[in-house]
Chains A and B, each alone.
Chain A
Amino acid sequence: MIISIASGKGGTGKTTVATNLGISIDGGVQFLDCDVEEPDAHIFLKPRIKKTRVVSIPVPEIDESKCDFCGRCAEICAYNALAVLSDKVLIFPNLCHGCGGCSLLCPRKAIREVDKRIGLVEMDSGSKLQFVQGRLDIGEMMSPPLIRAVKESIDPTRTVIIDAPPGTSCPVIEAVKGSDFCLLVTEPTPFGLNDLVLAVEVLRKLTIPFGVVINRADIGDNKIESYCKENKIPILMKIPFDREIAFLYSQGIPIVQRKKEYAELFLTMFSLVKELSER
């Protein structure tokens, strides 16, 4: 099964939940860090990267000897990555989503596609927990194609854990799409609630079953709990605001390595997830 961990708000503890869950499940886990703009699960899982693959997207290249500057390419580009002037065509590769429409529809066949590197997929050869992560190149903006490339390595025979990026836009949707269950990690603050509500709307649209994990559960107010109750959203785990947890995090040490009782808690959540995803 595929479990994704998302949040809406950043910094609520997605990676903490994802890595500790991955370690608690005893074997047969594949961990995908799809937060490709800032992958950080490796800090806790300490993989030895064995395989690296370059990921590119196709961007247009114009043969100006064939082009008659008709402007069709700029017209059909939904992302405005091309501008056609009276005697030249400008390409803005950072705006290009690599759909290939321009080259397909060019009446003069003056456009060919060339690969533009956007980042890397890296993986280790771990057997108990196999680690895969995407790393978007600095300055690149187009993370969804890289997230797709990370997800190409999904091994359906394993329990797949996907650490998603924060937010509710394209990268998140790309990361959680196809999951059997999604854990939404939040915190009891106004920001946490605001962004949780947005994330819930996304998951309802995608018809992915989900539940909530409240991190730093003993601070702030109880509005998250009343929201979940009103909307019949299961709260699957609460993690307290604990100095020791914060300390371990700052050292890159998974909680379950030092506080064994947490492995039990994560496993309990895992069985709840399995149950809920089968409903």
Chain B
Amino acid sequence: MKICVTSQGDNLDSQVDPRFGRCDYFIFVDPDTLEFEAVQNPNTGAMGGAGVQSGQFVASKGVKMVITGNLGPNAFQALRSAEIEALTGASGSVKQAIEDYKAGRLQAGQGPSVNSKFGMQGKR
């Protein structure tokens, strides 16, 4: 089963991007074999609604699980409607985040973890 991790770079040693809608890369990865595909996020410069578009984008890739730092309200709603589980609070490398996920250290939020426009402030 492939999952999606938001990333600041194009490989598994890159840092997790704390933003969902405006992350630099989506890494679609098989957590068991670590086989992956890195896709540049087309929505980093969106005026608004980046979370909506990114939600639609990862849904179109057929994943059922997203790992990221934070989720805004629109992204949260888009992912929930697409029946994609979203784990927030990930940090460190993408590899580390996958380990954390496998060890059950990441939580599915009951709601959005940040307000709208969080990702507009750039990387932290």
A residues at B contact (CB < 8 Å) = 74, 77-86, 88, 90, 92, 95
Q: Which residue from chain B places its CB closest to the CB of A82 in the assembled complex? A: B52
| B16 contacts chain A at the CB level, 8 A cutoff | no
The A interface is mostly helix, strand or loop, or mixed, namely: loop
Question: Which of B49, B50, B74, B81 makes the CB contact (< 8 A) with A85?
Answer: B81
Interface stretch (choices B53-61, B87-95, B100-108):
B53-61
Q: Which of A78, A79, A86, A90 contacts B77 (CB 8 A)?
A: A90
> Using a CB–CB distance below 8 Å, which chain B residues touch chain A?
43, 46-50, 52-53, 55-56, 59-60, 74, 77-78, 81-82
| Cα of A85 to Cα of B52 in the assembled complex, Å | 11
Contact of B48 (CB < 8 Å), options: A79, A83, A84: A79
Q: Which residues of A sit under 8 angstroms from B43, Cβ to Cβ?
A: 80
B56:A85 contact, CB within 8 angstroms: yes
The prevalent SS among residues of B at the interface is: helix
Residue from B56, B74, B81 in contact with A95 in the complex, judged by beta carbons closer than 8 Å: B74
Which of A82, A83, A86, A92 has the largest count of B CB atoms less than 10 A from its CB? Answer: A83
By the criterion CB–CB under 8 Å, are B56 and A81 in contact? no
Inter-subunit contact A83/B47 (CB<8 Å): no
CA distance A95 to B73 in the complex (A): 12
CB of B77 within 8 A of CB of A81, answer no
Pair A92/B59 contact, Cβ less than 8 Å? no
Q: Are A85 and B48 interface neighbours, CB within 8 A? A: no
Among B46, B50, B81, point to the contact of A90 (Cβ < 8 A). B81
List 7 additional contacts besides A85-B82, A90-B77, A92-B74; criterion CB under 8 Å.
A74-B53, A77-B49, A81-B49, A82-B52, A86-B59, A90-B52, A92-B52
Chain B, Cβ-Cβ closest to A95: B49
List B contacts of A84 (CB < 8 A): 56
Q: Which 7 residue pairs spanning A and B have beta carbons closest together?
A: A80-B49, A83-B56, A95-B49, A80-B52, A83-B52, A80-B53, A85-B82
Give the shortest distance, in Å, between A200 (CB) and chain B (any CB): 24
Q: Which residues of the other chain, A, contact B59 by a CB distance below 8 angstroms? A: 83, 85-86
The chain B residue sitting closest to A96, CB to CB, is B49
- Residues in A whose Cβ lies below 8 Å from that of B77: 90, 92
- Contact partner of A79 (CB less than 8 A), chosen from B47, B60, B81, is B47
Is the CB–CB distance between A80 and B81 below 8 Å? Answer: no
Min CB–CB distance B43 → chain A (angstroms): 8
Instruction: List the A residue with the shortest CB-CB distance to B59.
Output: A85
Contacts of B81 in A (CB 8 A): 83, 85, 88, 90
Q: How far is the CB of A211 from chain B (nearest CB, A)?
A: 32
Contacts of B47 in A (CB 8 A): 78-79
Chain A residue nearest to B74 in the complex (CB) = A92
Report B-chain residues with C-beta under 8 Å of the C-beta of A88: 81
Quick one: closest A residue to B56, CB to CB? A83
Q: Which residues of B contact A82 (CB under 8 A)?
A: 52
In this complex, the member of B47, B49, B60, B78 whose beta carbon has the largest number of chain A beta carbons within 10 angstroms is B49
Please name 21 pairs of A and B residues whose Cβ atoms are closer than 8 Å in the assembled complex, sorted by A.
A77-B49, A79-B48, A80-B43, A80-B48, A80-B50, A80-B53, A81-B52, A82-B52, A83-B53, A83-B55, A83-B59, A83-B78, A83-B81, A84-B56, A85-B56, A92-B49, A92-B74, A92-B77, A95-B48, A95-B49, A95-B52
